Structure 1
């Protein structure tokens, strides 16, 4: 101990103790407070009560939250107090819980008071100053104490609501991943460690499908958090655990995670001064090896020994998760140190260990014989940055990019077979439960509304309601260039974008509401769209006219008192068949050709409820036989559909063409990058097929024609990607007017590139390529459609040519 690095108001503390601490000595007239040097998270103090003669009459321990802005759910001293108070009725040794103060006005932060337990604390797991008997007895007592904790049923001690037992490891992984992401990046001044990104990859892909849970877990159980009975000699084997300290991370969860964290000294490399370790090859006399120690715990807890699990990845997963958690905590310590409010003088040094922890975890898991290992995921990671020098993902986008890729592996690709099966059943016009499950998982993973533009916070006229997660309305705040990298990954599966609330036409419609909607329109329609409760459609294209020229639109929007009457026939209204579709953005003419109004000022957009009288879904249209249920591409008629003019008009009469152009800029880029993702998926499948398929006595990979086509596919894809990333960068820097040509160029190049590569992949797969046994046929249908959607090639090529003519006059 030493002088207080974060001093407390002793007078305020004394007043609190006198009024709130049970059996506080009446003779106490002053207190002496010293901060413990041990510990990195919640500042902890020794509080000595003194009488008038300055003689100690009682000793306590104070533990409080650190000052400054804190990460969500971190440093919850209230939870520490609750679990200590509950466990006093069990065989788990804890200090006496004496008083909790949640009033920040007393000491500036919440704190609690507990009894001071006098005993030994060993900071080094090797216990070098002790004899073999003392070491062995200590490790046995430690294993038995942890086993006793895991034997406690939360409901028996009033802690049934202390946490959620289901999906414990998955939730822990995402919690620490979010904490790590909040502790790095431009705002903190620290670049994300590549080792941590790779580790998160492996963990997300290998979360146990089922695990033993619903037990109390400490979360930070280690030797230096135990107060032991004092030794009468260096080799005194009469050891008792008097108290378990530091319950900040305690919850209801998986006991294996606790045991794995307790075993980290067996795994960390030697030479870390701030985190002493054990050398498994030369353990000090008396200290059991890892297998024997875990066996002692298993006998004490009555739970199965994880080292004897049939799944060879079980124990490595929990060890890697513990190491990752340590890395995330250390990253948080580093971030707080850079902000000047860390609770330890060693905080900067602790931050240097982030990479050490992550790399050690990768060493542990690389030897695990499972199909979803690090090497595979790292190989996939490289695919999206090939040929993008100068347009690489930012540090913020890189973190999201890796999280997204691993979500695709862990969830999306596995769901494709079930989604395809649902799409051909008689119930296909209902929403598959798989979709909603994927959406829930994406929300929990922080992969929701990734499309929201950088300026969305300034444009949003609504705020989350009570109980709504603010993260659903915020998005990560990406530029078009940053989001382009994510859109590519989502494009690898036709089912992916919806899972992240990033699918067309909803993203375009939400952007229209975000940029042009009133507060009332955002409240009614944008809010449920952002939270994923409803879907929408966009009614612009008409069968009777060439709708690539928006001025050809014939549907009418006619004023009738306070209302508009909508009349027209639309088709390719994507999403109109979906039972969740609740709102239509309808484009029609509010001025006739003979009205004298300029040609590009005759169109308007209005919001129309899907269930409005007069709206009729005539039929779903198919794309090469795919009806894309339950989404669908509908032919819809509007017959005297009445909507309130003031409530429904977007931006104002005559602004429809303007809105359409603003809507299509980012949307076209989203389509282009998804197309690149389609091509990458197809090329990956083609390469794997060429290596495994034998024809005429040799693998296809040795066929010169196959090699030529694969090589050309790579060149084609990289060229289209560069055009698209350049367009995204131009849109960010220059705006849509300047970037218009670049957007048009990539809108021509990306569909053509994807179609060429998918066609090659189909050819290499033979009959399987056009069947439902691969995603290639559906990818081809989608890519071919996108040569028409948002304007056919001819329109974009004409735009580019006109810009060339203007350029030649300069």
Structure 2
């Protein structure tokens, strides 16, 4: 990479300074041909606002030649979840190297933060020019025309790359890009706010969410998306052609018009927008009009011009993304880890406001004005997100109590309080009354059949709007509209009320009071986790065939990962095999604790096995969908939990012997199984924790009632000091667990499963332990009745005890917490 102006390269600031000698030693070992005896000079490119980028210059020693390299690294300090992923940059640059897309040659990737403080990669230096001014005043009319023609041709070449040919078909999801982009940037914008969101940004999010193009759900439109394609991210050679496309930090699979619109922003940017090249009016000679630029791209790809309404959407999305990105630059400037010395000015509130206002003007000109700041957007616009953005975080960085969220440990917002009241009323009116008859069936000869009352309760719950309460708006955005079209009434009500994980926690605690209650509201494991997998990683076809029936509650599913012969808490130990055979895969494996496999409604298994036993440890595993029943799938036996077989749901030991399934049933791609498993275990683990609190609460209620109605040794049991001490200790522990679970859910909403893993691990350890303590105390207070089936206590205790193993043993979670504590004192 090269920039003609010497002022664009300078000495790094103290926060971004590198240990040149340590870096030199690493590169000498990692890069073939790197001068072994040369010293290393490190300077920083001042152009750019994302990942810090450095020019490495080797100073010759002896007969060696001087060489230039370019290094890109993550910023130091705390950065937003999923941002600044240099590993993804390295992957896409490597994949595109043999194509017609001009990219620098990557030489090494280092994920060891010990070398220079963060992960980084090094690429060859590409000599040429970067034009930071979109007007290109230093060029002639003919040269300007050539530059813009080359930019359009390069973008067309990128969008013409065959994903499978370069191995990038799994680089992102095949559909839903636009909706995810709005969600991602809205959440990241909100996460870095120091005060309330700008009204213009709130209005813009509402408009974008309500006007996502229908084609967003069609994988046929999916291409490699650069994510930040613009003039000043291109290096031009002396021949006028693009020599290299830079800054692939935001690259993924997406809609090509998003890239095209982003590159066309200079035609619409407010004058003087720092860090973004804008065009003056009138246009300089040689610079094509926006219509001409778009036409050149479309001609190169053989496509018609985009419809005006669609073009307005993609321009508005581009301006919104730019505003959110620059707000992040401003946030990093406040933290002192920004890449550029101009970051404070670049990310100023006035700049962000100007970009959002310009986007609103564009959509209004397209004939669909954005809603007023205080207006309630349509349901599809996810008012929860819009409302949370408008309120912004508190000075502490957490979201304040509003209509859609509340601080951990406090009462839920009014909307959720109303839902919780409706749910509790439903439990009182229907669920507790059905508990004895459903338990009776579970212990009878007919226990592997479904009681008609269960199906009646499910129908009633759905009719009352108490259905799929667990689905977050972010997850709902992953469901392809084309898949929902196959559902009855086009999927009306299937995606629930749009609650965050924190909001759902308050409801899940109510459901946890009865072991089978969550099924009534279609909120039970393993179906919730399996539906999450299908929503996040399934194709529209897989979603249509399996996700929709699960959302409707017509079928059930199981998850087959655990194996009896190995320690399955370490997923890299999995021994089951998945072998490609033409258009099919052949599955072999011995699984157990396949919860739900005994259910007569179980028509789908998600099978985890190894497709590449010799690959990297975390890339050997894959997940594939197995329709049930299927030839070669044999239920060996139902397993019991302290004597309970949990009929008709059940936990099965299952053999897969030469089971053949279509290759199209593979989830996300070969080698992605561990990645899917980690994504599946975030919210699903918390659901169990939330229900555990409900188990403990019911135990304490029964304990208090029992003590108030019984007398022993001359007085009421409730007046006994030993009893009171036990009850108080259980109450304290349960309250602590509740706050821990709510805090973990809050972190999951704000930062995602990876960043919240420490808090989730803490909840997984504490919640079952607190529930067990409460239930054990209640059983003790009940005497012999407490360990019998005359009360629900023994059944609840068995379920709570299993949770200490079911989603990973305590030891695994404690190890996670300890590792994080060694890095930093806070989770």
**TM-score normalized by the length of structure 2:** 0.51
Asked if the contact 2:326–2:347 (Cα under 8 Å) also holds between the matched residues in 1, the reply is: yes
What displacement does 1:493 show?
14
Q: 1:204 is matched with which residue: 197, 202, 209?
A: 209
In the alignment, the residues of structure 2 paired with residue 290 and residue 367 of structure 1 have an alpha-carbon distance, to the nearest angstrom, of: 16
Summarize the alignment of residues 242-257 of structure 1 with structure 2, pairs less than 5 Å apart. 242-257=243-258
Q: 1:222 is matched with which residue: 230, 240, 243?
A: 230
In the alignment, the residues of structure 2 paired with residue 144 and residue 160 of structure 1 have an alpha-carbon distance, to the nearest angstrom, of: 23
What displacement does 1:113 show?
1.1
In the alignment, the residues of structure 1 paired with residue 279 and residue 165 of structure 2 have an alpha-carbon distance, to the nearest angstrom, of: 37
| Residue of structure 2 in register with 1:266 after alignment | 267
| Residue of structure 2 in register with 1:647 after alignment | 775
Q: 1:316 is matched with which residue: 307, 312, 325?
A: 312
Do the aligned partners of residues 431 and 69 (structure 1) sit closer, same or farther apart at CA in structure 2, a change above 3 Å counting? same
> Which structure has the greater CA radius of gyration?
1
In the alignment, the residues of structure 1 paired with residue 235 and residue 50 of structure 2 have an alpha-carbon distance, to the nearest angstrom, of: 18
Can you give the 5+ residue segments of structure 2 that lack an aligned partner in the other structure?
Answer: 1-8, 385-390, 407-414, 420-454, 479-492, 515-522, 531-641, 644-689, 732-770, 783-827
**TM-score normalized by the length of structure 1:** 0.52
Q: How many residues align?
A: 478
In the alignment, the residues of structure 1 paired with residue 242 and residue 468 of structure 2 have an alpha-carbon distance, to the nearest angstrom, of: 45
Asked if the contact 1:48–1:60 (Cα under 8 Å) also holds between the matched residues in 2, the reply is: yes
Asked if the contact 1:60–1:116 (Cα under 8 Å) also holds between the matched residues in 2, the reply is: yes
| Residue of structure 2 in register with 1:20 after alignment | 30
What displacement does 1:367 show?
2.8
Summarize the alignment of residues 653-692 of structure 1 with structure 2, pairs less than 5 Å apart. none
What displacement does 1:244 show?
0.7
In the alignment, the residues of structure 1 paired with residue 292 and residue 468 of structure 2 have an alpha-carbon distance, to the nearest angstrom, of: 41
Asked if the contact 1:80–1:250 (Cα under 8 Å) also holds between the matched residues in 2, the reply is: yes
Do the aligned partners of residues 142 and 55 (structure 1) sit closer, same or farther apart at CA in structure 2, a change above 3 Å counting? same
What displacement does 1:285 show?
0.7
What displacement does 1:436 show?
6.9
In the alignment, the residues of structure 1 paired with residue 304 and residue 284 of structure 2 have an alpha-carbon distance, to the nearest angstrom, of: 27
| Residue of structure 2 in register with 1:241 after alignment | 242
Asked if the contact 2:89–2:251 (Cα under 8 Å) also holds between the matched residues in 1, the reply is: yes
| RMSD (CA atoms) | 4.7
What displacement does 1:239 show?
1.6
Can you give the 5+ residue segments of structure 1 that lack an aligned partner in the other structure?
Answer: 231-237, 386-391, 413-423, 448-491, 514-526, 535-561, 564-579, 608-642, 655-810
Query: SS of the residue aligned with 2:209?
Result: helix
What displacement does 1:431 show?
5.5
| Residue of structure 2 in register with 1:68 after alignment | 77
In the alignment, the residues of structure 2 paired with residue 272 and residue 365 of structure 1 have an alpha-carbon distance, to the nearest angstrom, of: 20
In the alignment, the residues of structure 1 paired with residue 525 and residue 504 of structure 2 have an alpha-carbon distance, to the nearest angstrom, of: 11
Asked if the contact 1:443–1:500 (Cα under 8 Å) also holds between the matched residues in 2, the reply is: no
Do the aligned partners of residues 592 and 361 (structure 1) sit closer, same or farther apart at CA in structure 2, a change above 3 Å counting? closer
Query: SS of the residue aligned with 1:100?
Result: strand
| Residue of structure 1 in register with 2:288 after alignment | 288
- 1:213 counterpart = 2:211: no
In the alignment, the residues of structure 2 paired with residue 139 and residue 192 of structure 1 have an alpha-carbon distance, to the nearest angstrom, of: 36
What displacement does 1:165 show?
2.0
Q: Structure 1, residues 663-722: CA drift from partner, whole Å, max 9, x if none?
A: xxxxxxxxxxxxxxxxxxxxxxxxxxxxxxxxxxxxxxxxxxxxxxxxxxxxxxxxxxxx
Asked if the contact 1:30–1:51 (Cα under 8 Å) also holds between the matched residues in 2, the reply is: yes
In the alignment, the residues of structure 2 paired with residue 598 and residue 58 of structure 1 have an alpha-carbon distance, to the nearest angstrom, of: 84
Q: Structure 1, residues 570-594: CA drift from partner, whole Å, max 9, x if none?
A: xxxxxxxxxx999874755314658
Q: Structure 1, residues 626-649: CA drift from partner, whole Å, max 9, x if none?
A: xxxxxxxxxxxxxxxxx9997365
Do the aligned partners of residues 593 and 78 (structure 1) sit closer, same or farther apart at CA in structure 2, a change above 3 Å counting? closer
Query: SS of the residue aligned with 2:171?
Result: coil
In the alignment, the residues of structure 1 paired with residue 137 and residue 236 of structure 2 have an alpha-carbon distance, to the nearest angstrom, of: 16
Do the aligned partners of residues 398 and 296 (structure 1) sit closer, same or farther apart at CA in structure 2, a change above 3 Å counting? farther
In the alignment, the residues of structure 1 paired with residue 392 and residue 274 of structure 2 have an alpha-carbon distance, to the nearest angstrom, of: 35
| Residue of structure 1 in register with 2:183 after alignment | 174
In the alignment, the residues of structure 2 paired with residue 120 and residue 494 of structure 1 have an alpha-carbon distance, to the nearest angstrom, of: 50
Asked if the contact 1:331–1:351 (Cα under 8 Å) also holds between the matched residues in 2, the reply is: yes
Query: SS of the residue aligned with 1:379?
Result: coil
Q: Structure 1, residues 48-68: CA drift from partner, whole Å, max 9, x if none?
A: 122126985211111111111
Do the aligned partners of residues 70 and 499 (structure 1) sit closer, same or farther apart at CA in structure 2, a change above 3 Å counting? closer
Do the aligned partners of residues 509 and 54 (structure 1) sit closer, same or farther apart at CA in structure 2, a change above 3 Å counting? farther
What displacement does 1:362 show?
1.5
- 1:380 counterpart = 2:371: no
In the alignment, the residues of structure 2 paired with residue 227 and residue 17 of structure 1 have an alpha-carbon distance, to the nearest angstrom, of: 25
| Residue of structure 2 in register with 1:325 after alignment | 321
| Residue of structure 2 in register with 1:157 after alignment | 166
Query: SS of the residue aligned with 1:45?
Result: strand
Asked if the contact 2:58–2:66 (Cα under 8 Å) also holds between the matched residues in 1, the reply is: yes
Asked if the contact 1:201–1:377 (Cα under 8 Å) also holds between the matched residues in 2, the reply is: no
In the alignment, the residues of structure 2 paired with residue 270 and residue 181 of structure 1 have an alpha-carbon distance, to the nearest angstrom, of: 26
Do the aligned partners of residues 331 and 599 (structure 1) sit closer, same or farther apart at CA in structure 2, a change above 3 Å counting? same
| Residue of structure 1 in register with 2:471 after alignment | 440
| Residue of structure 2 in register with 1:145 after alignment | 154
Do the aligned partners of residues 294 and 438 (structure 1) sit closer, same or farther apart at CA in structure 2, a change above 3 Å counting? farther
In the alignment, the residues of structure 1 paired with residue 772 and residue 105 of structure 2 have an alpha-carbon distance, to the nearest angstrom, of: 66
In the alignment, the residues of structure 2 paired with residue 402 and residue 646 of structure 1 have an alpha-carbon distance, to the nearest angstrom, of: 31
What displacement does 1:129 show?
1.5
| Residue of structure 2 in register with 1:351 after alignment | 347
Query: SS of the residue aligned with 1:154?
Result: coil
- 1:590 counterpart = 2:706: yes
| Residue of structure 2 in register with 1:96 after alignment | 105
Do the aligned partners of residues 591 and 393 (structure 1) sit closer, same or farther apart at CA in structure 2, a change above 3 Å counting? same
